[in-house]
Structure 1
């Protein structure tokens, strides 16, 4: 038997041990390949979203590749540690160190070759489906199938280099231990896990600093960096020190510990958490990043949808104070002509506004409008008008999204323009009509007060802005790509950017559709990246359980001889596996909520808890499936050892 045959037989006879690793590696190769298929598609060049899509897919391939490197490196290190006894036997039989190194190198290369071939093959089978789904989600024209030779070469070359480098690098993991120590393998007695109280308290302090950095002062890149660094280090100390200390405190509680089989699994957890601290830390960071990304995308989707639904104006044309009035009227006539040529029935209203910026962080600017103009718009939209009031009164009207974002009511306001102050008492109202302002906030004042402010603005050379609003009574639901409103909105937005210069056109359908495409692209990329993170985190946990299986089998066999039943063993093992699988998900969900809260608040998104809980629930559901599979295989193996 040749040496390559010997390496192949080693893999074949340890197929169960290598299966999860091979499956995860093949899945990463497949995802990398499918992204490459999209990147090199010839039709992408001429697509409106081509440049943005290609950039997003390229970033995704880099993320997948970097994570694949770390995943493979960690997995191989775990495998090598579990094979110490095998290396000891080979050493007794006369194998030299260079021969053991050559054996490990060949095994890694063989597994890498199989992963590359199966990943590209499965990617080829799914590439047509991938292109179809991706274009549907991103709302692009359908991309035809093509033979992705460049994608094949890139994937094969990239992952061949990855497995080659890691195969060479992992030789450093092989410890030059004595034969007796190698033969003991993982069955050596473990020292009692101890927690350093100082490091445990330091972990708590670092987590508190990270929390404070996101909330004490105005959010900025420095605060995010401080929160990221302290949060990551604090999470590691949470698993390596604080969690061990908590378990030790739990062990001292005799009421809980000395009840049923609690003594067994609580005592074991102190060892397992300490031994798996790095793995639990890694899984938590991976899941937290994926949850944050997914939660952020979901929050942006909800915000975009809410902005569209809050806006009753299909189109608006804004003529500023320094605009050429004659040219602005011609451009306005062109917009009306396009609406009529498309056969769209519309209502039109116009209103003068004064832009007013409020001082203070987090305070949205608003537009000041006269009562008569507001009531004119309200009558055309069958909305409640503003009843008569005096110069000292005003109504603050906010869109539903703005009202949710700016929780609370104001009872008074001081308007300071051109060095003059006007104090008004406020009535608060929520209505979609406030979408005239990009911030969703309108201040309705008495006509005479508006005229005074207008004269002051003109005297100061500032003037007022004029908004022409177009409402489509028959428009319902969210806009689609082929809707007349969407097509016209995209056309007019392009015309605005490339031709007209006297005013600004805003189309709610074009804004929604453009933002939706960008978000959909990142959603599509994020789903596959998150899927990789999820499967890989489950693989990390499965590897550790398999590595510790031999020692656990011996322990449970010994316990069964002194009376431990199979049912009690199953309960104890299930609790331990559940802790390893679900604690990282819960910690990651909490971290995502803590981090995304201030980030989304800074972006004026009122949707925080829902998207984070949805993302975390998805990971929890996936982890539940992995847990049930791992538990079934683990308990089945241990049950064979019970007396």
Structure 2
């Protein structure tokens, strides 16, 4: 028997231990292949997507490639550590360091290439369905099936490189100068888990502060708070598993009445060690799950609520305005011609419409770095018709703010033309979100003495704004070279948003699936490693009277803690993240987050039941009754 045959036989002997790792690799390679097949499809028109969508696709690809490498490396290292005794014996009988390195390389290479090839085959089998689903999701013409030679080459090359790199790094886990330690395998006694009360308290402080900062965030503060809040949550989560949970378990053990009741001693003692031993895995699974929940939940919320968001941000079907920076910056004759063109296009298509024309004064002040935009009360009343707005009665020293309540341009008192003006706030705007405008009395508007520029605007409303899509696109082409104008079409914004948010949703779901599959594999691999020790432990306990029913109860508590605790913590993290999104950007996230987290919970729970049953079958086979 050659050494290569010996290495391949080793894989056959360790089939059960490799099973979870292999299937997660197979699913991951299949998902990655499907993603590459879509991105590299010859009929996919990338010009449909904006630059930031293309950039997001590239970043997503890089994240997935890096994450899969870390997943393979970590999973393989955990698995090889469980075979310490096997490697110790091999070193004892004279196998060389080079041969062990070669064996690890062959095993990894065979497993990775086999998983990638089968993953590609699975991807090809479901390719047509996948392409139809993705095309339908992002709202484009269904893509035809094709043989993606480039994608096949990328996947095989990637997983081959992974096997080479991981084999090189993982080899140092089983170096021959640790033979005695290797021979003892995983049976070496473990010290009692210890925790620091200070770090446990710090964990609580970090998470509470992060949650409070998240739910009180405004639109202005959102970007500045993301990094510090995320950092606090990450550090707090690690301390939660490494310090706080161990601290709590120690306190529970100190309660002798509870600790010595029935099988609590075994449950609590086992959990005390298992949570500490699995700190890294629990941490990784929690963070990856939280990222998946938050990404999918937030994008799905936007995707689902897109029409409502556009309705709020862009009240009119079409809005066209001059944007002069200087008094002589624009030829108003062009403006008049463009308005006439819009009207003629609408009339040609027999689309009835309501039109409001008005002016916007851009007033400059020495006391402010940026000018103030104001419109007449009479224009505001015309714009408000049909918008279900209660007309606010204004006085000469008052103004209505049409900007968002959490905008940096929202003042209680503003200074216009050296006069202090009290500001009232209107949550429903009659101007596009692009404009931060104040409504003032007509007399006040006409009496401005400060430096100002007066721009013109036309707001057009139709019963069904999507019927104006072709008109808006044609008008946009005509005006593409115009300088000093702003054209906003609700139909174009909705049409573009459908594609943009659909692509982002696809990317979020895809990366969420990758994270879920790899996280589940982390847990399976670790559970299988522990199972080899647990068999001996429960066999000995069974000999002295512990029944299978009691073992089943203990095991269920332990496995559910490993599988469901990260999910619960991730749900809490994601809930606060989505609440921050709701408060800052006024997006309805409740139904979307419930659907996303509920779906993941159902799959996680089913996976837990399957793994639990397999684990119990392994344990039961070792018992004497």
Q: TM-score, normalised by structure 2?
A: 0.87
Select 2:498's aligned residue among 495, 511, 516: 516
Aligned: 1:543 with 2:532: no
Aligned: 1:469 with 2:486: no
1:160 Cα deviation after fit: 1.0
Deviations along 1:387-410, one digit per CA (max 9) or x if unpaired, are 866546666678xxx57x79xxx9
Aligned: 1:583 with 2:578: no
1:328 Cα deviation after fit: 0.7
Select 1:344's aligned residue among 336, 342, 351: 351
Aligned: 1:316 with 2:308: no
Is the Cα contact below 8 Å between 1:45 and 1:51 reproduced in 2? Answer: no
Partner of 2:246: 244
> Over the residues paired in the alignment, what is the CA RMSD in angstroms?
3.5
Select 2:263's aligned residue among 261, 264, 272: 261
Distance 1:388 1:113 in 2: 74
Distance 1:513 1:16 in 2: 50
> CA 1:371–1:51 in structure 2 vs 1: closer, same or farther (change >3 Å)?
closer
Is the Cα contact below 8 Å between 2:317 and 2:490 reproduced in 1? Answer: yes
Distance 1:177 1:100 in 2: 13
Distance 1:393 1:26 in 2: 66
1:525 Cα deviation after fit: 1.2
Deviations along 1:110-158, one digit per CA (max 9) or x if unpaired, are 1112012112222222333333222222222333333322222222222
1:44 match: secondary structure: coil
Aligned: 1:633 with 2:606: no
Select 1:298's aligned residue among 289, 297, 300: 300
1:536 Cα deviation after fit: 0.8
> CA 1:228–1:181 in structure 2 vs 1: closer, same or farther (change >3 Å)?
same
1:526 Cα deviation after fit: 1.4
Distance 2:47 2:193 in 1: 59
Deviations along 1:426-458, one digit per CA (max 9) or x if unpaired, are 5x6665xx232426887555xxx32322331xx
Which structure has the higher relative contact order (CA within 8 Å, separation 6+)? 2
1:582 Cα deviation after fit: 1.6
Select 2:485's aligned residue among 481, 494, 503: 503
Is the Cα contact below 8 Å between 2:402 and 2:431 reproduced in 1? Answer: no
Aligned: 1:530 with 2:512: yes
Distance 1:185 1:617 in 2: 40
1:586 Cα deviation after fit: 2.1
Aligned: 1:621 with 2:602: yes
Distance 2:392 2:60 in 1: 55
1:297 Cα deviation after fit: 1.5
2:415 match: secondary structure: strand
> CA 1:32–1:390 in structure 2 vs 1: closer, same or farther (change >3 Å)?
closer
> CA 1:385–1:452 in structure 2 vs 1: closer, same or farther (change >3 Å)?
same
Q: How does 1:48-67 map to 2 (within 5 A)?
A: 48-49=48-49, 54-67=54-67
> CA 1:568–1:486 in structure 2 vs 1: closer, same or farther (change >3 Å)?
farther
Distance 1:312 1:243 in 2: 52
1:555 Cα deviation after fit: 2.1
1:196 Cα deviation after fit: 3.1
Select 1:332's aligned residue among 316, 322, 339: 339
Distance 2:371 2:606 in 1: 49
Q: TM-score, normalised by structure 1?
A: 0.85
Of 147-156 and 630-639, more deviation after overlay is shown by 147-156
Of 9-18 and 30-39, more deviation after overlay is shown by 30-39
> CA 1:514–1:39 in structure 2 vs 1: closer, same or farther (change >3 Å)?
same
2:622 match: secondary structure: coil
Distance 2:388 2:587 in 1: 25
1:417 Cα deviation after fit: 0.7
Is the Cα contact below 8 Å between 1:34 and 1:130 reproduced in 2? Answer: yes
Is the Cα contact below 8 Å between 2:286 and 2:569 reproduced in 1? Answer: yes
Q: How does 1:36-185 map to 2 (within 5 A)?
A: 36-44=36-44, 47-49=47-49, 54-176=54-176, 181-185=181-185
Is the Cα contact below 8 Å between 2:581 and 2:587 reproduced in 1? Answer: no
> CA 1:68–1:376 in structure 2 vs 1: closer, same or farther (change >3 Å)?
closer
Deviations along 1:220-262, one digit per CA (max 9) or x if unpaired, are 7665444444433332222122211111111222343333322
Is the Cα contact below 8 Å between 2:91 and 2:176 reproduced in 1? Answer: no
Is the Cα contact below 8 Å between 2:299 and 2:501 reproduced in 1? Answer: yes
Aligned: 1:572 with 2:554: yes
Distance 2:97 2:104 in 1: 11
Of 631-640 and 97-106, more deviation after overlay is shown by 97-106
Is the Cα contact below 8 Å between 1:534 and 1:622 reproduced in 2? Answer: no
**Structure 1 residue runs without a partner (length 5+):** 476-482
Is the Cα contact below 8 Å between 1:342 and 1:484 reproduced in 2? Answer: no
Is the Cα contact below 8 Å between 1:23 and 1:115 reproduced in 2? Answer: yes
Distance 1:143 1:597 in 2: 37
Distance 1:102 1:42 in 2: 41
Of 325-334 and 184-193, more deviation after overlay is shown by 184-193
Is the Cα contact below 8 Å between 2:377 and 2:439 reproduced in 1? Answer: yes
Deviations along 1:189-226, one digit per CA (max 9) or x if unpaired, are 33222223344345445556756876699747665444
